[in-house]
Amino acid sequence: MKDTVTLITGAARGIGLATATLFHAEGRRVVLLDRDAEELATAAATLPGALSVTCDVSIPKQVAQALTEVEQSCGRLDILVNNAGVADFGPLAETDFARWRRVMDTNLDGVFLMSQACLPLLSARGGAIVNIASISGLRASTLRIAYGTSKAAVIHLTKQQAAELGEVGIRANCVCPGPVNTKLALAVHSPEIRAAYHDAIPLNRYGTEREIAEVICFLASERASFVTGQVVASDGGFDSTGVGLP
Ligand code: NAD
């Protein structure tokens, strides 16, 4: 396990950093990738031996350069966690095309570009991909025309990956987190939305980064060696209730 290499996008903070920390604690080599160089350096300093790569996952040239760096430094790749994402709460009438594109660029194109760029290295190992979507990709709402659509697309992209890549031994699964108190959620969850989530979630609370990271690590690990094409909600039971998104 010590030799395995795990690349996590959006790893400078939040769920990505919690995931990198958990893989690191398991003795795996981790590569932290993020577009925020300053926050990335601070995060990488907490994980001795981690490689940090500054890259915007929505820019093909930067993605290609990042993978060259990973290949040169690590020589292999076993696990890819596509976690980088941006939030946007807005209805159809108020979402102009630039806003729509900003969300799709990172949340959908970023997953496509990173997965494609990692494929040659992953194929050699029969590795695993874990994509991070959201309960917003499972349930429609009045507020998430771009974000919800991008996450629903990530769910389907995961199933496409599983169908296509099984024959080279690569598994692909998807995690749909419920609300977690990260910078992303704090920016878009008003007090009213927070209160509504507390009521709508059977466990009556937000999740933690660590709780999401545990599911990601399981799906990526050998313990899930016969699991592929699956969508796992880690959401305190929210999706099981049939209640609409706040
Ligand atoms: P966060 O904002 O704390 O962290 C996201 C990280 O991704 C940041 O470090 C940011 O710099 C990086 N990033 C954003 N765009 C990037 C790009 N184009 N290229 C490279 N890095 C980029 O957010 P988080 O809450 O930890 O979210 C992680 C993932 O979980 C996202 O995909 C998000 O949509 C999903 N998610 C979060 C919640 C929640 O409530 N926090 C719920 C459901 C799903």
Integer-rounded Cα radius of gyration of the chain: 17
Residue type, 29: R
The finding on whether 80 has its CB within 6 A of some atom of ligand 1 is: no
pLDDT at 126: 87
Q: Which CATH class, in words, describes the domain spanning 5-232? A: alpha beta
The finding on whether 189 has its CB within 6 A of some atom of ligand 1 is: no
From 15, 59, 107, mutation site for ligand 1 pocket: most ligand atoms within 8 A of C-beta = 15
Distance 1 CA to ligand 1 centre (A): 27
The finding on whether 10 has its CB within 6 A of some atom of ligand 1 is: yes
Distance 216 CA to ligand 1 centre (A): 14
CA distances from 150 to 22, 128, 164 (A): 27, 22, 21
Residue with CA closest to ligand 1 atom 34? 85
DSSP-derived pairing of the beta strands 5-9 and 171-177 = unpaired
| 145-165 vs 110-123: helix crossing angle, rounded to 10 | 20
pLDDT at 112: 98
The finding on whether 150 has its CB within 6 A of some atom of ligand 1 is: no
The finding on whether 15 has its CB within 6 A of some atom of ligand 1 is: yes
| 147 noted as active-site residue | yes
Catalytic residue chosen out of the listed positions 23, 89, 112, 147: 147
Residues 194, 178, 63, 72, CA torsion sign:
positive
| pLDDT tens by residue, 10-22 | 999 999 999 999 9
Distance 167 CA to ligand 1 centre (A): 30
| pLDDT tens by residue, 50-59 | 999 999 999 9
pLDDT at 3: 83
Which residues of the chain have a pLDDT value below 50? none
Q: Which residues of 22-48 are buried (b: 16+ CB within 10 A; e: fewer)?
A: bbbeeebbbbbbbbeeeebeebbeebe
